[in-house]
Structure 1
Amino acid sequence: MKKSLLAALLTIGVYLPSQAQNPIIKDVFTADPAPLVYRDTLFLYTSHDTASVQETNYKMPDWRIYSTTDMVHWKDYGKRLSPRTFAWATGDAYAAQCVYHNGKFYWFVSTFHKKDDNSQGGAAIGVAVSDRPTGPFKDAIGKALIVNEMTKDKPHAWDDIDPTVFVDDDKQVYMYWGNLSCRWVKLKDNMTELAGPINVITPKNYIEGPWVYKRKKLYYLVYASAGTKPEMIEYCTAPSATGPWTYRGIIQENVPNSFTTHPGIIDYKGKSYFLYHNGSLPTGGSYRRSICVDELHYNKDGSIQKIVQTTAGVASVK
């Protein structure tokens, strides 16, 4: 009976998937997705989890790059950047985002600063630059862009993490980041200097992992929330990149087998996509995470519909 049913499905053109697409990368553990569309290609910049099954903390030695032109088949460029690229850095390679501006690619990364004349240590944000989306990348300024001493509203040493960078229609560049509070600052056009003071905002339930973008006339601030543990994804909207931000609700519930999640949102070939991570691979978990992708849909008023997490993932696009 099962064989005859399968034959009938194939006859009428219904093909059963050979395997689930999500997670989209299965040979290594990846986290903190940061998508970038350049020309006809979607590039994906990721963190890299290497902690053992027994370990109970992060081990993240480098950042990786992947690309796709159909949302199903992914090209692996391997390890393309690490904290060792920055002479001032030490420790792990936390969430990062690469953006294209003025003919160059700027990879904003979060890691930790060595104790020296410029810093007493703690989380810091650096900038790497390249002429190509896949590198090679080098330290753009030879020092950290943000150090722990520049942000005093929170006492813990890991508050300066998870940068997201947004270039507005008028070419003004903004950076948002932070753990337990969300900071933002204007950047100069060279992408490597601050163009104003650091500001602090307090979105409802905010914890970390901001992602900022604009759709039509609405600005979106999407982030991992601390309303519950494990994390969820919530968001705010505003009429400008500087606010005022209005809370809009939860768009992604807890993910399987990981107490963290991290948003990356992009439009590509006529569809909107939501990238995130979970711990669903065999031997995966909160310190061995994997990136997934599902479609994102908007209501007529611009609000975001709840994300439906799937193992099937998304369909191929031409």
Structure 2
Amino acid sequence: MKSRITTYIKIVLTGFCLCLLVQKSQAQAVNSSKIIHKWKATGNPIVTHKYTCDPAALVHNDTLFIFTGEDFEGGQKRYNILNWCVFATTDMETFWEYETPLKAPDFKWGEQNAAWASQVIERNGKFYWYSSSQRTGIGVALADSPKGPYKDAIGKPLLTNDDSFGKKHSWRTIDPTVMIDDDGQAWLYWGNGACWLVKLNDDMVSYDKNYGVKEVKFNGELDFPFTEAPWIHKKDGLYFLSFAIGFPERIAYAISDKPEGPFEYKGIINEIAGNSNTNHQAIIEYKDNWYFIYHNGGIQTDGGSHSRSICIDKLEFDENGLYKTIKMTTNGVQNK
């Protein structure tokens, strides 16, 4: 009898130890992204140890996370973006970078050097990374932490050129931006040459086929000179949709009282961003201040249109609750 009890205790203890090991392994997997670089920014650009582009931003647990693409190196003559990056700060002065959270080849269906513009959003404790890949569409990756690592959630593009009707050029299904409205409905916008939108389902990795794909109307018109880089957010009951216009690009914006529009065009808020043909923005509130995060070609040695750098400046609103024009600075937000 004693032998049987001893054996039973050993089995129970072994099972308990195995459970602990599994839990430890899972915790390590969730927190496996390490800080690889830390620095104190002194102005714009805020990242100078590598070339970064197409920023997106997310506030989580009192931390501002900034997600970017990484231009391959200085002096580039074409877009060569192999992976995305994730940076973080809690005071807009000290920043740190985590290990690479996601690479273009992680989307096996995508182009291997086209880690184009993206955005991360949280829902129910999961983090969804919507990313574009030039001609092959928009995918979604999933993680348990904003810092990653992320994995392709569905093994195929969520949206392709077949969804981006009315245009023929091959790079039209790019630049996703996503918002979860007050009623819990998630909306995804994207586009080059036009702006389209869908209602995401609750799973965040599929969209409402009954609602379908809609093209955003501006001032009641579909034929509007929209270039790319939409970013959507809501403030005081209004939906603010900013986007790049023209080429070289400036950032304009429009407003609506409904997420699907139509949107009323309000004008340019950010001019050509210094030595870069493209301009791409994230607009976010953090610790009672609003920030405009963008890229330029501001590293003087060999920055440019294909070797870009992330900058941050303050965003302010006028007496009507609309954007004031952005004042791009080299001081940034650290020296004010």
TM-score by length of 2: 0.83
Within a 5 Å distance, the mapping from 1:100-119 to structure 2 comes to 100-112=122-134
CA shift for structure 1 position 88: 1.5
Q: Matched residue pairs, number?
A: 288
Q: Distance in 2 between matches of 1:166 and 1:225?
A: 21
Paired amino acid for 1:264? A
1:28 aligns with 2:41: no
Q: Distance in 1 between matches of 2:41 and 2:100?
A: 26
1:57 aligns with 2:78: yes
Secondary structure of 2:82's aligned partner: coil
Residue in 1 aligned with 2:314?
295
1:243 aligns with 2:261: yes
Residue in 2 aligned with 1:209?
229
Q: 2:42 touches 2:93 (CA, 8 Å); kept in 1? A: no
Within a 5 Å distance, the mapping from 1:190-209 to structure 2 comes to 190-195=203-208, 196-203=211-218, 204-209=224-229
Residue in 1 aligned with 2:59?
37
Q: 1:123 touches 1:159 (CA, 8 Å); kept in 2? A: no
Q: Distance in 2 between matches of 1:49 and 1:311?
A: 21
Q: Distance in 1 between matches of 2:266 and 2:148?
A: 37
Q: Distance in 1 between matches of 2:316 and 2:178?
A: 23
Residue in 2 aligned with 1:179?
192
Residue in 1 aligned with 2:3?
none
Residue in 1 aligned with 2:34?
none
Within a 5 Å distance, the mapping from 1:1-318 to structure 2 comes to 20-51=42-73, 53=75, 55-91=76-112, 92-112=114-134, 122-195=135-208, 196-203=211-218, 204-226=224-246, 229-281=247-299, 282-315=301-334
Q: 1:20 touches 1:311 (CA, 8 Å); kept in 2? A: no
Assess, with a 3 A threshold, how the Cα gap between structure 1 residues 70 and 19 changes in structure 2: closer, same or farther: closer
Runs (4+) of structure 1 moved beyond 6 Å?
A: none
Q: Distance in 2 between matches of 1:52 and 1:95?
A: 19
Q: 1:208 touches 1:223 (CA, 8 Å); kept in 2? A: yes
Assess, with a 3 A threshold, how the Cα gap between structure 1 residues 162 and 131 changes in structure 2: closer, same or farther: same
CA shift for structure 1 position 150: 2.5
Q: 2:41 touches 2:95 (CA, 8 Å); kept in 1? A: no
TM-score by length of 1: 0.87
Structure with the largest fraction of helix: 2
Secondary structure of 2:162's aligned partner: helix
Identity in percent: 42
Q: Distance in 2 between matches of 1:150 and 1:312?
A: 42
Paired amino acid for 1:34? A
CA shift for structure 1 position 240: 1.2
Q: Distance in 1 between matches of 2:99 and 2:252?
A: 31
Q: 1:70 touches 1:316 (CA, 8 Å); kept in 2? A: no
Gaps in structure 2 of 5+ consecutive residues? 1-39, 219-223
Q: What is the RMSD of the two structures over their aligned residues, measured on CA atoms?
A: 1.6
What are the superposed Cα offsets for residues 285-310 of structure 1, whole Å, 9 maximum, x if unpaired?
Answer: 00000000000000121110000000
Bigger radius of gyration among the two: 2
Q: Distance in 1 between matches of 2:284 and 2:91?
A: 14
Residue in 2 aligned with 1:12?
none
Gaps in structure 1 of 5+ consecutive residues? 1-17, 113-121
Q: 1:66 touches 1:74 (CA, 8 Å); kept in 2? A: yes
Paired amino acid for 2:243? Y
CA shift for structure 1 position 86: 1.7
CA shift for structure 1 position 147: 1.3
What are the superposed Cα offsets for residues 72-95 of structure 1, whole Å, 9 maximum, x if unpaired?
Answer: 111111321012112222231000
